[in-house]
Amino acid sequence: MLRRFAVLAVPLLFAACADRPSVTEPEASLSLAAADRSASTTNSYASGSTPVTAYDPIIPTSADPTWPTTSCTATPQVGLNANWQNPHAAFSGFGHPWLYDYFTGADWINAWDNINSRGPGGQSWTKYSTSVQGNGTFQIQLLADNCSWVYLDGTLVGVQNTNLAANTYGLTLNGTHELAFIIFDGGGAAGGKFKLSTTSNPPPPLNPDLDADGRPNDSDAFPLDPLRQDASNLIANGSFERPAVPVSSWPTSVAPWITLTGTNLPGWTVTSGAVEVQRGEMDVQFTGVPDGLQGLDLNTASISQAITTRANYRYRVSFKLSKNYVCVGGTTIVRVSLGNATQDFSFDDPSGGYRNMRWDAKSMEATASSASSALQITSIAAGGCGGAMLDMVSVEEIGPGDQTPPVIVPTVTGAQQNGWYTSNIGISWAVSDAESAISASTGCDASSVTTDTDGTTFTCSATSLGGTSSSSVTVRRDATAPTIAPSVIGTMGSGGWYTSSVNVSWAVTDATSGIASAAGCDASTLSSDNAGVTYTCTATDHAGQSSTRSVTVKRDATGPAIAFVGNAGSYTVDQTVAITCAASDAMSGLATSTCPNVSGDAYSFAAGPNTINASASDRAGNASAATATFTIAVTDGSLCALVERFVTSKGVANSFCVKLRVKSYDAFRNELSAQGGKKFLSSAHAAILLRLVNLLG
């Protein structure tokens, strides 16, 4: 099966997968020929003429359709020391399609006597090895199908994914060496060809920095880890810029830090996470990530302990966090709770990979409400691998707590004249204490006075850790002014909008002197849509007391408008459908709308009539609905136009169209079966053409 493949030039960093360019194009042929001439090499080792040991392929248990990204990774899932079986001489002499690509003088080799895949989905892993000997400069070339990893004396020195790159790299040999290859194939034979040649005009040297961390491989203790450079693990990022502190030099205790012994954290309750105690400290590892592993999510762990406290005293909780293992990226979040107080602390790993690190101490303050408080420390999963060690915890008493009772401020609202309220009265209370929480209150709910009274007293009392305080107010109400009661009659929709005509009338009375005059108190009717009309009635009694009442009425009795734009009505499958739907409401505005836009290639829609349904409602509760219909037709001409779009060879496309012009639909389907999934027509496009031609006959 022809498909994407890789040329491995030792070594290349992992790159995105790409389709292989055709080497039959003149420009590509010239550049390859020029590269071969400039090398001036004398062949020393080549597949086909050099004995190569192959091993039986390792077949995955199931096919992986995403193998270009899940299998072609920086290190192979099946490595050099996997359970390779049946070492035997590699087979050569196959007529592989890429045998003459990029360099000549080497045969295509395979681990078995044919080039057909035997794995599910055509996927397999194969190992090849050979002994090479030399002193001086050499260049290496490898053409592999598909992803490849190269080892020299057991060390991974080159990685190549499915991206094709015609590069040659130099290396120096000084005696006998073992050259090995791991090749993964995503749908065919996991084979290839190689050539190792002496050269007096060496190409660029073997990549001296495989993990691109700025440190040459020969001085990098972790040559495949971009987050670590050497054993010192110096950190150079913002506030973390400090050298690592060796674990052996950490103090066993620092006053007033709590020190614990044993392995079960006496007095503490551990709800999850791995826990261990070392060097007399409380040492809780919030994640089960062992030293050296990377990329695991942070587990949640929590520890708690009852702390002896004094009621209404303030305490400071401090803790120290560290790392004594390597972990890439992520955030460690530590939540500290004492009694009812909680605070979160975040520890970022901006570049990851910290070993033997300690952060500065963090602290929070809280007031204890009783003689015993629960201290709890929790690690919260925040993505990535941000695990750390909780090394030390202290709880310090820093002094008495709240010494003053709550402050109570009353608020009285209403219209007032000569010490009397002439309207309804509202009483509310603002209760606060800056030093501790309000633990109890009575009489502090909002109240109102709606009847006459010569004096009513309201009292609010509140208690905090600082004590109890009270505040009182006395109010008087004399409603001798006229009473005005509006009446609004109509069909109420949503959001305060009326959806019918609205009648507004007034009832004006006075129990003492009677009404002397009234303005704006006649009945009114709102019969058209309006965003808000305010009606006001003012009445005055014979004693000179006046009252005014107003009401605002909004009316929207019209549903939203729905319009479809761009509907041609009928389309052939080679055309594009682009219909937009717009809903609007001129008064209360749209509340909901299912007014879909329809766009895409006409062949992606069902043949025949297609219906678009739209609906909308406004904020007043009015609803509207509308539909639009368009038709998709399949014709010989429109199907030929799709063929010319999908098939990359004009000759093959013309062959399809000729069959359509003479309505030879069975022959069209046969050619689809022959060409689908091949060089000029993808399987997906072939399936579309088959579905459409079946509608013709």
Reported confidence tier of residue 37, pLDDT bands at 50, 70, 90: very low
Q: What architecture is the 483-555 domain classified under in CATH?
A: Sandwich (2.60)
Strands 530-541 and 483-489: unpaired
63 φ, ψ (degrees, to nearest 5):
-70, 145
Please name the residue ranges forming H helices in 560-680.
636-646, 650-661, 665-675
Q: Does residue 464 contact residue 438 with C-beta atoms inside 8 Å?
A: yes
Give the list of residues 6+ apart from residue 81 with CB closer than 8 angstroms, or none.
Answer: none
> Which among 393, 387, 333, 398 has a CA at the least distance from the CA of 365?
398
- Rg from Cα positions in the chain: 41
Single pTM value for the model: 0.33
Domains 407-477 and 483-555 share a fold: yes
Q: Does residue 422 contact residue 385 with C-beta atoms inside 8 Å?
A: no
- The tokens for 363 are 């602290």
The domain ranges of the chain are: 6-207, 244-400, 407-477, 483-555, 561-633, 636-696
More confident residue, 235 or 418: 418
Is pLDDT at 382 greater than 80 in this prediction? Answer: no
Listing DSSP states for 250-269 in one string gives S-S--TTS----SSS-TT-E
> Which among 624, 643, 650 has a CA at the least distance from the CA of 682?
643
Residues 176-189 have pLDDT tens digits of 889 999 998 877 66
Please give the C-alpha separations between residue 411 and each of 139, 444, 455, 607, in angstroms, as whole numbers: 89, 11, 17, 71
Give the list of residues 6+ apart from residue 35 with CB closer than 8 angstroms, or none.
Answer: 166, 168
Is pLDDT at 122 greater than 50 in this prediction? Answer: yes
- The tokens for 499 are 């959806």
> Which among 213, 383, 237, 370 has a CA at the least distance from the CA of 298?
383
Residues 432-471 have pLDDT tens digits of 998 888 989 999 999 999 988 888 999 999 998 889 999 9
Rounded to whole angstroms, the Cα distance separating 587 from 584 reads 9
E-strand spans in 351-417?
A: 357-358, 362-368, 372-380, 389-400, 407-413, 416-417
Reported confidence tier of residue 213, pLDDT bands at 50, 70, 90: low
- pLDDT given at position 210: 61
Please give the C-alpha separations between residue 176 and each of 9, 131, 172, 179, 688, in angstroms, as whole numbers: 21, 7, 12, 10, 57
The side-by-side arrangement of strands in the sheet containing 447-449 is 407-413, 425-432, 447-449
More confident residue, 519 or 73: 519
Residues 392-416 have pLDDT tens digits of 677 778 888 888 999 999 999 998 8
189 φ, ψ (degrees, to nearest 5):
-95, 130
Q: How many other β-carbons are positioned within 10 Å of the β-carbon of residue 376?
A: 18
> Which among 392, 67, 66 has a CA at the least distance from the CA of 260?
392
- The tokens for 81 are 């020391």
3.20.20.100, 3.20.20.450, 3.40.50.11690, 2.60.120.260: CATH of 244-400: 2.60.120.260
Q: Does residue 464 contact residue 434 with C-beta atoms inside 8 Å?
A: no
Q: What architecture is the 561-633 domain classified under in CATH?
A: Sandwich (2.60)
Rounded to whole angstroms, the Cα distance separating 199 from 168 reads 12
**Averaged pLDDT score across all residues of the chain:** 76
- pLDDT given at position 465: 85
- pLDDT given at position 324: 46
Give the list of residues 6+ apart from residue 264 with CB closer than 8 angstroms, or none.
Answer: none
Q: Does residue 82 contact residue 140 with C-beta atoms inside 8 Å?
A: no
Quick one: what percent of the chain has pLDDT higher than 70?
A: 72
Q: What CATH number should be reported for the domain whose range is 407-477?
A: 2.60.40
The DSSP element (H or E) to which 434 belongs, if any, is none
User: What would the mean pLDDT of 2-25 be, rounded to a whole number?
Assistant: 28
Rounded to whole angstroms, the Cα distance separating 155 from 224 reads 11
Residue that is written with structure tokens 């055509």 in the block: 122
